[in-house]
Amino acid sequence: MPSKARWPRIGRPYVIVSLMLLAGLAGVAIGQATATREPRRQPASDPLVTLNNAFRSVYHHTMQKTLEHGGPVILAVGDNLVLRRGSSRQEVHYTPLLYHLVKDLAHTPLALDALLIPHEDAEVLAEAVLAELRELRRLIDAAEPALAGHGLDAEQVDRGRRIYAGCREFIDSVLQARRCPRGVRVAFARRMHPAVMRNVGDAARAEIDALHARVTAWRKELTPEEWKSLRVVILGSAPPRNQSLTVQYFARLLGEPGEGPRIIYAESVRDEEQARDILARHEVDTVIGADFFNDPTRMHRDVLCDAARDYLRLLIDRP
């Protein structure tokens, strides 16, 4: 059974964290004060550097202890989910094939739009662009017969054929005109919009159903205390963040507003161990923020942000 030891909750004093921040702030403050007078890098024998290195060592040690004594963690890594619980690790591939199939169908008209965006002002499309259009048409013709053999229901197959037919018609018209002004391209995109969004809806439901089934099964393995302490780290690209499907799912499930103490979005991270380090850093910084600033979120921002804002108002006069 995983250890039930818990890292102390926010709001209690921590001597090690206090020492850690004092050492770090000393190094930061001194480094900032001398930045304009001395090179940033100082000899390793400098006692100020030695003190700051001690801070970094203490901080890293505290991060490791946080991971060792923390509760269970779910990591969402692409199509996989990982449950870390004490020394145990479970990984499952949860994303269903249907999710990818209906998304791939929706990508076809988007590909045509993307291909033609750079050429909307061209009087005549270059032969290379026309060749790409012919190749996409060939690929559509080859893909359509396979629609019925991948587990799609009748309505999804019919919708896929209508998407392909609309794409073929558009390609043929562009090949004949040898140009594609923005208005023509946008009109095509708007015609495709309803079918594309139906596929998007199917993909979202398939993904959420599979995600919920797996998390529900894991929840049965956890004690009530473990479930209350569960944290989630979602590895994803920059744009989605709070609007990502996975963040929305866990926020709804855990009763959270979105990213916060229990849900962390690890932007542009693909490595599981790096994601766990981000989780540990997030939790340690939460405690520091509560201890020193009475604000658990304070260290999740640039520590210099408030001072920078106030000084910039004095430095740069704006009408």
pLDDT band of 137, cuts 50, 70, 90: very high
Domain residues for 176? 97-202
User: Could you give the CA distance from residue 44 to residue 39 in angstroms, rounded to a whole number?
Assistant: 13
Domain count along the chain: 2
C-alpha 305: how far from its chain's center?
24
- For the full predicted model, state whether its pTM sits above 0.85: no
Q: Which amino acid is at 188?
A: F
Residues β-bridged to residue 74: 83, 232
Residues 64 and 135 in one domain: no
pLDDT at position 13 is: 34
pLDDT band of 241, cuts 50, 70, 90: confident
Q: Which amino acid is at 238?
A: A
Residues 131 and 192 in one domain: yes
The domain boundary residue, chosen from 202, 217, 248: 202
Residues 161 and 113 in one domain: yes
Residues 30-46: tens digit of each pLDDT: 344 434 444 555 555 78
Residues 15 and 105 in one domain: no
Residues 107 and 64 in one domain: no
Residue 89 counted as domain residue: no
Mean pLDDT of 202-216: 97
Residues 101 and 195 in one domain: yes
**Spatial CA neighbour of 117 closest among 103, 132, 106, 105:** 132
DSSP for 56-117 reads: HHHHHHHHHHHHHHS--EEEEETTEEEEEETTEEEEEE---HHHHHHHHHHHHHHHHHHHHG
User: Could you give the CA distance from residue 241 to residue 89 in angstroms, rounded to a whole number?
Assistant: 25
C-alpha 309: how far from its chain's center?
28
The domain boundary residue, chosen from 169, 187, 202: 202
User: Could you give the CA distance from residue 317 to residue 175 in angstroms, rounded to a whole number?
Assistant: 56
For residue 44, what are the CA distances in angstroms to 38, 55, 240?
A: 15, 14, 42
| Angle (CA) 264 21 269, round 5° | 25
Residues 108 and 167 in one domain: yes
Please check whether residue 238 is in contact with residue 267, taking contact to mean a CB–CB distance below 8 angstroms: yes
Q: Which two tokens stand for residue 316?
A: 């740069």
Residues 93-126: tens digit of each pLDDT: 999 999 999 999 999 999 999 999 999 999 999 9
Instruction: Lowest mean pLDDT of 34-38, 80-84, 266-270, name the range.
Output: 34-38
User: Could you give the CA distance from residue 147 to residue 289 in angstroms, rounded to a whole number?
Assistant: 54
